[in-house]
Amino acid sequence: MHINHHSPLSALALLAALAGGAALAQSDDAPRADTAARPAQRATERVTDAMRVVRQLEAEPRMKQLLQQAKGVLIVPAYGRAALGVGAHGGAGLLLLKRADGSWSGPAFYDLGGLTVGLQAGAEGGALAMVLNNDKAVGEFMKKNNFSLSAAAGLTVFNWSKLAQGTAGNGDVVAWGATKGLFGDAVTVGLNDIRYNQSLTNAYYGRALSPKDIADGSVSNPQAQPLQQALGQASALTR
What gap in Å lies between CA 70 and CA 208, rounded to an integer? Answer: 27
What pLDDT score does 146 carry?
83
Does some domain include residue 144?
yes
**Which one, of 153, 150, 111, 140, lies nearest residue 212 by Cα?**
140
Does some domain include residue 11?
no
**Which one, of 34, 39, 18, 133, lies nearest residue 87 by Cα?**
39
Structure confidence by residue, pLDDT tens digits, 123-149: 566 788 999 999 999 998 888 678 888
**Is the pLDDT reported for residue 165 higher than 80?**
no
**Is the pLDDT reported for residue 41 higher than 60?**
yes
Using 50, 70 and 90 to split pLDDT, how confident is the model at 209?
very high
Predicted structure pTM score: 0.77
**Which one, of 233, 194, 1, 208, lies nearest residue 95 by Cα?**
194
> Higher-confidence residue: 229 or 9?
229
The amino acid that residue 74 corresponds to is L
Does some domain include residue 5?
no
The region of weakest confidence among 33-37, 41-45, 115-119, 163-167 is 33-37
The region of weakest confidence among 33-37, 151-155, 156-160 is 33-37
The region of weakest confidence among 67-71, 118-122, 153-157, 179-183 is 118-122
Q: Which domain holds residue 126?
A: 41-234
- Count of domains in the chain? 1
Does some domain include residue 77?
yes
**Which one, of 76, 141, 78, 103, lies nearest residue 234 by Cα?**
103
Mean pLDDT over 4-22 rounds to 47
Residues contacting 199, CB < 8 A, separation 6+ = 39
Mean pLDDT over 37-62 rounds to 89
Mean pLDDT of the chain: 77
What pLDDT score does 223 carry?
92
Does some domain include residue 18?
no
* pLDDT > 90 fraction of the chain, expressed in percent and rounded: 33
> Higher-confidence residue: 39 or 105?
105
Rounded to 10°, the helix 225-234/61-69 angle is 110
Does some domain include residue 107?
yes
Using 50, 70 and 90 to split pLDDT, how confident is the model at 24?
very low
Does some domain include residue 78?
yes
> Higher-confidence residue: 78 or 98?
98
75 alpha carbon, distance to own chain's centre: 7
Does some domain include residue 32?
no
CA distances to 40, 101, 188, 216 from 30, rounded to whole Å, are: 16, 44, 49, 36
Mean pLDDT over 171-178 rounds to 87
